Chain A
Amino acid sequence: MSALVEIVGVTKRFGAFTAVKDVSMEVAEGQVVCIIGPSGSGKSTLLRCINHLEAPDHGFVRVADDIIGYRVAGEKLYEVSDRELARQRSRIGMVFQQFNLFPHMTALQNVTEGPVLVQGKDPAQARTEAMAILERVGLGNRSAHYPAQLSGGQQQRVAIARALALRPSLVLFDEPTSSLDPELVGEVLQVMRELAMTGLTMIVVTHEIGFAREVADKIVFMDGGRIVETGTAQQVLMTPTEGRTKAFLAAVRE
Chain B
Amino acid sequence: MSMLQAEQPRPSYVIVKRPTIWRYVFAAAVLVSLALIVRAFAIGKIDWSVVRYYLFDPDIISGIGNSIILTFLAMVIGIVIGLVMALMLSSSNMVLRYFARGYLYVFRSIPMLLQLLLWYNLALVFPTIGIPGLFAYNTVEVVTPFVAALLAFGIGQGAYTTEVIRSGLLAVGKGQTEAARSIGMTSGQALRRVVLPQAMRVIIPPLGNEVIGMVKYTSLASIIQYREIIYSAQSIYYANTMVIELLMVCAAWYSVVVGLLSIAQHYLERHFNRSAVPQTIVEVTA
**Residues of A in contact with B (beta carbons under 8 Å apart):** 51, 53, 82-83, 86-87, 89-94, 96, 98, 100-104, 113-114, 117-119, 141, 143-149, 159, 162-163, 165-166
Decide yes or no: A103 and B182 within 8 Å by CB, A98-B175, A141-B286, A144-B284 being known contacts.
Answer: no
Cβ–Cβ contact B281 & A148, under 8 A: yes
Cα(A83)–Cα(B190), bound, Å: 12
Decide yes or no: A100 and B277 within 8 Å by CB, A86-B185, A141-B286 being known contacts.
Answer: no
Cβ–Cβ contact B198 & A96, under 8 A: no
Q: List 19 A-B contacts (CB under 8 A).
A: A87-B184, A89-B183, A91-B184, A93-B182, A93-B183, A100-B179, A101-B179, A102-B179, A103-B276, A118-B184, A144-B284, A148-B279, A148-B280, A149-B281, A149-B282, A149-B283, A162-B183, A166-B183, A166-B184
Cα(A141)–Cα(B279), bound, Å: 20
CB proximity of A217 to chain B, nearest CB, Å: 24
Decide yes or no: A118 and B182 within 8 Å by CB, A104-B277, A141-B286, A148-B281 being known contacts.
Answer: no
Cα(A165)–Cα(B278), bound, Å: 25
Closest A-B pairs by Cβ, 10 of them = A90-B184, A100-B179, A114-B183, A94-B182, A100-B175, A118-B184, A103-B277, A86-B186, A104-B276, A86-B184
Chain A residues lying within 8 Å of B179, measured Cβ to Cβ, are: 94, 96, 100-102, 159, 162
The yes or no answer to B69 lying at the interface (CB within 8 A) is: no
The yes or no answer to B91 lying at the interface (CB within 8 A) is: no
Name the residue among A102, A141, A165 with the largest chain B CB count within 10 angstroms.
A102
**Residues of B in contact with A (beta carbons under 8 Å apart):** 173, 175-176, 178-189, 193-194, 197-198, 275-284, 286
Cα(A100)–Cα(B188), bound, Å: 18
Cβ–Cβ contact A89 & B281, under 8 A: no
Chain A residues lying within 8 Å of B180, measured Cβ to Cβ, are: 102
Chain B residues lying within 8 Å of A92, measured Cβ to Cβ, are: 182
Cα(A162)–Cα(B181), bound, Å: 13
Cα(A235)–Cα(B101), bound, Å: 56
Chain B residues lying within 8 Å of A101, measured Cβ to Cβ, are: 179
Chain B residues lying within 8 Å of A159, measured Cβ to Cβ, are: 179
Cβ–Cβ contact B193 & A113, under 8 A: yes
CB proximity of B193 to chain A, nearest CB, Å: 6
Chain A residues lying within 8 Å of B198, measured Cβ to Cβ, are: 103-104
Chain A residues lying within 8 Å of B193, measured Cβ to Cβ, are: 102, 113, 117
CB proximity of B228 to chain A, nearest CB, Å: 39
Cα(A104)–Cα(B172), bound, Å: 12
Chain B residues lying within 8 Å of A166, measured Cβ to Cβ, are: 183-184
CB proximity of B281 to chain A, nearest CB, Å: 6
Chain A residues lying within 8 Å of B184, measured Cβ to Cβ, are: 86-87, 89-91, 114, 118-119, 166
Cβ–Cβ contact B282 & A96, under 8 A: no
Chain A residues lying within 8 Å of B284, measured Cβ to Cβ, are: 144-145, 149
Chain B residues lying within 8 Å of A162, measured Cβ to Cβ, are: 179, 183
Minimal Cβ-Cβ distance residue in A for B190: A86
**Could you list 8 further interchain pairs (A-B, Cβ under 8 angstroms) beyond the known A51-B182, A100-B178?**
A53-B181, A86-B184, A90-B183, A103-B198, A103-B276, A144-B284, A145-B284, A159-B179
Cβ–Cβ contact B181 & A149, under 8 A: no
Chain B residues lying within 8 Å of A86, measured Cβ to Cβ, are: 181, 184-186, 189
CB proximity of A97 to chain B, nearest CB, Å: 9
Cα(A149)–Cα(B285), bound, Å: 11
Name the residue among B176, B181, B182, B284 with the largest chain A CB count within 10 angstroms.
B182
Chain A residues lying within 8 Å of B181, measured Cβ to Cβ, are: 53, 86, 89
Minimal Cβ-Cβ distance residue in B for A115: B183
Chain B residues lying within 8 Å of A163, measured Cβ to Cβ, are: 182-183
Minimal Cβ-Cβ distance residue in A for B285: A141
CB proximity of A174 to chain B, nearest CB, Å: 10
Chain A residues lying within 8 Å of B280, measured Cβ to Cβ, are: 148
Minimal Cβ-Cβ distance residue in B for A52: B181
Cα(A49)–Cα(B280), bound, Å: 36
